[in-house]
Structures are given as C-alpha cells and as structure tokens.
Structure 1
Amino acid sequence: MSAAPVTERGRRTRDRLLEAARAVFEERGFLETRVSDIAERANVAIGTFYTYFDSKDAIFVALVDAFIAALYEQSHVGEVAGPDPRQRIRTSNARFVEAFRRHGNLYGVIVQAASFNDEVRRRRLASRSVFIERATRGLRQLQAQGVADPTLDADVTAALLCGMVENFVERSHDLGLPFDDEAAVDAMTEIWARAIGLAP
C-alpha cells in the first residue's frame, strides 16, 4: 500500500476514496467492484486512486482494518458500565449489536472476500482473536474475584460466548430476522451470565 498522505488535502482525498470504496463495495460486492467505479464515485481520476492505494485489494484491506478497529472500540465498555459484571456484559453486548447494525453491510462483503482472499481471511481471524482475548481476560478477572465459576476453562468459554454473539448478529442481519435489539441483548446477557455462573 502507498504511504499515508502527509498533507491535509491528501488526507481528505484518501478519506473520500475510502468512503466511496465502502459505498461501492456494499452496493456491488467485492468481485463486481472495479477501481474505476471507486474513482468515479469519489470524483477523482484513476491515477489519483493509485497515488493512495496500490489496488482494489489494498483499499479493501484498509476498510477491513477500519471496520475491525471501530467494532472493537465501539463495543468496549471501559468504566462507563460501572463495576456490576452483569451490567458490563449487557453494555458490551448492546454496543456490539449497535456497532454491527452500523457496519453490517460491509461485514457481509468482508465475509465474501475472506472466502478467497488470504489477507482478508487473516485479518478476520485476527479480529476474532482480539475479541475473544478481551472476553477471556474479563472472565478470568471475575473468576479471580470469586463471582464467576472457577472451574470453567476461560479460553474455551470466552470463545463459545463470543461466537454466540457474533453468529447471532451476523445471521439476523444477513437474513433480515425481525428481532428486537433490546430483547436480543437481554437474552444474550442472560445466557452469558448463566454460562459463567454469575449470581442472579
């Protein structure tokens, strides 16, 4: 990928290309999108595109990285949820669902591209590992505090629970299932809390 722009004008042009690329990828999918489509949507010359990105794959990988960073950041609860573990789980689930709703169309293209693009597949798997590692750390802290079942394998349990949430939001988005987000988050939270042995 080309070096990041150093001028404000260059950064604006690069951002415009990314916005255009996302719109075109979401409309047409990865395979049907061409560099010329992105340049036309961004209202720039094709040569300008190649000033900032080496290829269609390169700009898509940049979008994937931005998507992963946004999803991780937007689902992180920090101190906003307070110390109650059940509330922290609920807040994290709610934020993940909300973030996925904003980015779900792009996620569908990422899944498509990951089926044949090794770099996209690698990034998708790495992003899953980051979410699972965060959940694992949280579960181990709760076990150390004596509020979660100490007999659970934290790595396996976190992977299973993260998979539940990811699979639900992905399938409900792809299939257009008419679930109420609040009800879904309540159910996810209850399943998660019971699975790790939190007191009612």
Structure 2
Amino acid sequence: MLKKAPEPILPQPTTPKGRATLARILASGRETFGQAGYVSMRMSDLAERAGLSMGALYRYFDNKDDVFLAIIHDIHNELYAASRPGEPHIFRDHPRKAILESNRGYLTHYRNHRKVMRAFIEATMVDPRYNDMWWYMRERHIIRVATALERDHGITEVNRMPARISLEALASMTEQSAYVWYAHPDAAADMLPVADAACIVSEIWYCTLFSKMT
C-alpha cells in the first residue's frame, strides 16, 4: 500500500479577498523558495514579495514549512497530471507515443519549476517530511505505470525480473536527468531542450519495457 504523503496545513479563507491573498502567498512562495533555497528562505522574504505585513502573513501560515509543503504538494499534483497521456487508450494502442507524451509533460513542468524543485531536493536532505513527500511522489508514478503496463500489455516482468524493478530504475533515471538538465545550478546557462530530453529518456523507457517488440 502506498504510504500517504504529508498533508499541508492550508488555511480556508471564506472571502474572495482571502482566497486571492492565499493564492498570492503561494505564488510568491514559489518565487521566494526558488530564489533563496529551502534553508535560507525567511518568512520576511515571503512577506515582502507578497506585499504583506508579517502579521498578515502569519494569519495564513505559522511557518515557512507550512508554506513550502503546500507548494510542493501542488507541484506534485501538477507533475502527476502533466505526465498523464491525454487519451486514456493511447498507452494500450501506441505505447511509444504515450511514453513520449508523458515524459514531455513531466519534463516541461519540471523545467518550468526547476528552481523550486532544486529547493525541494535541498529540503529532502534536512527534513524527513520532504523525504517522505519525495518518496510518495515517485511511488505514485511507479504504481500508475506498473498498473497500466499489466492492464494494457500483460507485462509483469522485464528481463525475468518483476517489472517494478525496471520501473524504479527508469523513474530514477528520469528524475535525476531532469535535475541535472534543469535544476542543477550549472544547468541554467545551457539547458537541453525539452523535446530532446523527452526523446532521450522515452527511448530508454520504451526499449526497456517493450524490448520484445523492437
């Protein structure tokens, strides 16, 4: 059973102004964490960027971890949605196309939020809550693909090993590649185009999972 990820503690504003302020805090948080990193980010930095007093900010969030967990929770759901093929039957009928579409969606969203993802990797090293969130994120992706692989193609083993073993390696490869190509500080000057990145990792996915079909 998939262990549940840590849930963010989100305020529930009841007015349009309150909901707009919450959205502004979270949007500003993505920028602030992305710029400062997880460890160095301060609530005063967030208040300034969001155009709020410290008192107003603390009416929504008690500390920076409540803000960051909410941000990462949202980004995970966005990554999960972005990596889902557009048509339900595409993985069954056109697995290579589906894999490419999924990886392109994942890598595009990762690239667009690369600075926050860098801060997230930093956070996993110092706080177990974020390590739990990271584990949940990868497990959720792996379980989705394993389920589709068995359902649509009857594949439960790859090279006489449980398919999950290969999926763990493939997911790790994609995740680490995304970090190296987009989130690592040295990647900013010359980022690999997403179209090329998606083709590279997708061919590895396809050849690994469907080697008997190539």
- Same fold? TM cut 0.5: yes
Aligned equivalent of 1:101, options 89, 94, 111: 111
Distance 1:81 1:23, change over 3 A: farther
- Alpha carbon RMSD of aligned pairs, Å? 2.1
| Correspondence list, 1:162-181, <5 A | 162-173=171-182, 174=184, 175-176=186-187, 178-181=191-194
Give the count of matched residue pairs: 199
2:29 — aligned with what? Answer: 21
1:71–1:100 CA contact under 8 A, matched in 2: yes
2:4 — aligned with what? Answer: none
1:95 deviation in Å?
Answer: 0.9
Question: Does residue 1:4 correspond to 2:12, yes or no?
Answer: yes
Secondary structure of the residue aligned to 2:192 is coil
1:20–1:42 CA contact under 8 A, matched in 2: yes
1:90 deviation in Å?
Answer: 0.9
1:39–1:45 CA contact under 8 A, matched in 2: yes
Distance 1:150 1:32, change over 3 A: closer
Question: Does residue 1:120 correspond to 2:130, yes or no?
Answer: yes
1:149 deviation in Å?
Answer: 5.3
Normalized per residue, the structure richer in helix is: 1
Aligned equivalent of 1:59, options 57, 67, 81: 67
1:35–1:56 CA contact under 8 A, matched in 2: yes
Aligned amino acid, residue 96 of structure 2: R
2:151 — aligned with what? Answer: 141
Question: Does residue 1:47 correspond to 2:60, yes or no?
Answer: no
1:181 deviation in Å?
Answer: 2.7
Secondary structure of the residue aligned to 1:31 is coil
Aligned amino acid, residue 147 of structure 2: R
Identity percentage of aligned residues: 26
1:115–1:121 CA contact under 8 A, matched in 2: yes
TM-score normalised by L of structure 2:
0.85
Structure number with greater CO (CA < 8 Å, separation at least 6) is: 2
TM-score normalised by L of structure 1:
0.90
CA distance in 2, matches of 1:17, 1:129: 29
Aligned equivalent of 2:98, options 76, 88, 96: 88
Aligned amino acid, residue 12 of structure 2: A
Aligned amino acid, residue 75 of structure 2: F
CA distance in 1, matches of 2:204, 2:68: 35
Uncovered stretches (5+) of structure 2, i.e. residues with no partner: 1-8
